[in-house]
């Protein structure tokens, strides 16, 4: 097969695009790891250790060819129809007293997802009506929490 410099440039451009996508996923994962840390520090430590081990395996040699015993799940995209709300819930979960629309939007932008502020506002209102989130004050959203009463303890 003949050497074609145009093919090399196309491969390099594809690699740059993939690297950019993976770095935006890393930002999203950082938010999700922070959520795990607030929920359960021990699980957070275990998850970070496993993640670090996977990264070290990649650093150790020829990239993906070195990742042998590790499962390779399908890559997630932050704003696929099935997980948009879960991603928003992850962001809101970082702020126990409630996240402002600005906080949530910044998390979306940092993830590299293409969602306008208006689309986010519409999604938040739909989630509010569905009872998936609550609004403790104007422009702030939080995860719903069951009230604690003397007859009922929170698990």
Per residue in 76-89, pLDDT (tens digit) is 444 454 567 888 88
Domain boundaries, the chain: 25-67, 84-142
CATH architecture designation of domain 84-142:
Orthogonal Bundle (1.10)
CA-nearest of 62, 57, 51, 59 to 26 is 51
**Which residue from 143, 104, 103 is spatially nearest to 123, judged by alpha carbons?**
104
Specify burial of residue 95 (Cβ count, 10 A radius: 0-12, 13-18, 19+): middle
Q: What is the pLDDT of residues 87-96, one digit of tens each?
A: 888 889 888 8
Mean pLDDT by 10 residues, the chain (155 residues): 71 82 83 85 80 76 46 45 75 88 88 82 91 90 70 52
């Amino acid at each position: 097969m003949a050497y074609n410099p145009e093919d090399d440039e196309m491969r390099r451009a594809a690699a740059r695009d993939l690297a950019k996508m993976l770095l935006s996923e890393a930002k999203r994962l950082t938010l999700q790891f922070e959520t795990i840390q607030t929920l359960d520090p021990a699980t957070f430590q275990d998850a970070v250790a496993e993640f670090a081990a996977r990264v070290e395996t990649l650093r150790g040699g020829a990239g993906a060819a070195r990742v042998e015993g590790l499962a390779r799940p399908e890559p997630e995209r932050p704003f696929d129809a099935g997980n948009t709300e879960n991603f928003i819930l992850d962001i809101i979960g970082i702020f126990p007293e409630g996240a402002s629309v600005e906080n949530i939007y910044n998390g979306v932008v940092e993830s590299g997802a293409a969602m306008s502020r208006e689309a986010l506002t519409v999604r938040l209102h739909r989630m509010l009506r569905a009872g998936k989130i609550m609004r403790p004050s104007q422009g702030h959203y939080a995860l719903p929490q069951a009230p604690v009463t003397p007859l009922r303890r929170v698990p």
